[in-house]
Chain A
Amino acid sequence: SQTIHQWPATLVQPVGSPLSLECTVEGTSNPNLYWYRQAAGRGLQLLFYSVGIGQISSEVPQNLSASRPQDRQFILSSKKLLLSDSGFYLCAWSLDSIYSYEQYFGPGTRLTVT
């Protein structure tokens, strides 16, 4: 069966510090991978998605970046965090098919920028 992992679960970082969140998927190959952010009282916002190694698409301009160094690894990074980067970050995966309807979400990372 497939599983998705995210770490860390919670993170408190000062403004201006770097960020690295990691997501890994097990039990499937060549998945589509996604990073979402959920701000308090807001819906999920798609930040990045990837259809393959080294292929990253950005949905919104921001000071965050994403990388996919391996087939089942997706990393969200920032060189300098802003207060507005606080939120709940979710990684998700889906099968490599436009007819795949289901996205499976990880447990999330709660990021607080102070």
Chain B
Amino acid sequence: KNQVEQSPQSLIILEGKNCTLQCNYTVSPFSNLRWYKQDTGRGPVSLTIMTFSENTKSNGRYTATLDADTKQSSLHITASQLSDSASYICVVTAYGGATNKLIFGTGTLLAVQP
């Protein structure tokens, strides 16, 4: 069964600190893995996308890693800001015929406090 599990469910950190969010998946056949940021009441916005052959991808203060052997990914946020408060969703794409199938994690809710 295709699944994406994220941890922790929620996280509170102080402004300026770093944090790491985890994503474990069992998806086959694997196409790519994405991290989305979803502000409350808004649609998700893509942060990074990695294919099978990519180990790391950065987008500003966000760095995602992918270990295709262990089927794990992490999202590291450096020098957090109040605007980083959001839900971070790991999404794994499986090849699926006419259109790819996206399997969504339930997200990690991050709160950055001053």
Binding site for B on A (CB under 8 A): 32, 41-46, 49, 51, 88, 90, 92, 94, 98, 100-108, 110
Contact = CB atoms under 8 A, between A and B. Distances in A.
A110 B99 contact: no
A39 to B, nearest CB: 10
Contacts of B7: none
A49 B97 CA distance: 13
Chief secondary structure at chain A's binding surface: strand
B98 A98 contact: yes
Chain B interface size band reads 20 to 34
B49 A101 contact: yes
Contact of A43 (B32, B89, B97): B89
A49 B32 CA distance: 19
B41 interface: yes
Given A105-B45, A106-B43, A110-B41, A98 B105 contact: no
A73 B105 CA distance: 28
B49 A102 contact: yes
B31 A108 contact: no
A105 B47 CA distance: 13
Given A42-B106, A101-B49, A102-B49, A51 B98 contact: yes
Contact of B43 (A32, A94, A102, A107): A107
B102 A46 contact: yes
Contacts of A46: 101-102
A77 B45 CA distance: 25
Nearest to B109: A41
Given A43-B104, A43-B106, A49-B99, A107 B89 contact: no
A28 B93 CA distance: 22
B59 interface: no
Contacts of B31: 101
B1 interface: no
B104 A98 contact: no
Contacts of B100: 98, 100-101
Contacts of A104: 46
A23 B104 CA distance: 21
